[in-house]
Structure 1
Amino acid sequence: MSATEAMQNWLALEHESVWLYPVIGARFDQLTQRAREAHDAHLSTRDHLLARLHTLDIEPVPAKLSYAVGSLSSPQVAIKLARRLEQAIAAACLDLAGESSEQGDQKYAITRLRRAARAEMAWGGEPRAFPGLAAQS
């Protein structure tokens, strides 16, 4: 995988996050604040990745109109979905950190990897020694 592919994969997950968290917050009052905070963090990351790709003169992967997330029938299902999404984002961050030769991209990916690992734990995940690796297996 190239650094561009890694960044595009990560961006696709950020698009999904920006779409998903408002849905979770709107459906489950007890998750509204956590979903709002997650949305804001992912919106910032998405915008950063879009700007970076434009700087590189690369057409960013577009957001989908909607995402197949299954039935969000309970807060527990929503929490599990959020946790899995954060795991996937951690893996995408790790991919970019490993693929990019640009120090700025590596540093940003590592910073956001830490954020994704903390977010996964905030959604009920267990701490792992190497966040992002388990999701790649």
Structure 2
Amino acid sequence: MSPESKRIKVFTLISLVYGLVSLFCGIFMVSALGEQTPVGAAEAGGGVVSFVLGIRGSLLANVPNKAGGLMRLSGVLLLVQVALIAAVVVLVGPAAAQAHAPALALMCAGAVVTLVVFCLSRALHRRNLAK
């Protein structure tokens, strides 16, 4: 396995763990804390998106020739995560969104991990095309 594939594998596994943590935090926010539903639902949705990236990405990272598929998958999932963050800010309002800063920070962390997977898979895909 090439060093680039190893890096992608590590970040997809980070995404997998993050997805589980974020999913449970979102469910906990809605059920136990009685937080506003859009914030908890978006948190849980972001967790599902990161979990999907972690599972599919860790399988695709084993084969360097499938970097293009991983690039497309992570790009779509990045757009979904950014849309979830924007939906929370719009639905809750900018002033109330500051009260939910930890949840938004957790969602942004997931988007950053997805962006890193996208960039690494894009670099590996371009390197494969150059051969």
What is the TM-score when the length of structure 1 is the normalising length?
A: 0.50
* Structure possessing the higher relative contact order (Cα contacts under 8 Å, 6 or more residues apart): 2
2 CA distance for matches of 1:106 and 1:39? Answer: 21
The percent identity for this pair of structures is 8
State the AA in 2 paired with 1:98: A
Question: Larger Cα Rg: Structure 1 or Structure 2?
Answer: 2
> How well do the aligned residues superpose, as a CA RMSD in angstroms?
3.5
2 CA distance for matches of 1:122 and 1:111? Answer: 17
Verify the 8 A CA contact 1:97 1:105 in the aligned structure 2: no
2 CA distance for matches of 1:120 and 1:81? Answer: 10
Which stretches in structure 1 are left out of the alignment for 5+ residues? 1-28, 68-73, 126-137
State the AA in 2 paired with 1:105: A
Verify the 8 A CA contact 2:5 2:64 in the aligned structure 1: no
Q: Tell me which of 44, 48, 68 is aligned to 2:21.
A: 48
CA deviation after TM superposition for structure 1 residue 113, in Å:
1.9
Q: Secondary structure at the match of 2:122?
A: coil
- Correspondence for 1:94: 82
Matched, 1:39 2:26: no
2 CA distance for matches of 1:96 and 1:48? Answer: 17
Verify the 8 A CA contact 1:96 1:106 in the aligned structure 2: no
State the AA in 1 paired with 2:68: K
State the AA in 2 paired with 1:48: V
Normalized per residue, which structure has more helix? 2
CA deviation after TM superposition for structure 1 residue 34, in Å:
2.8
- Correspondence for 2:112: 114
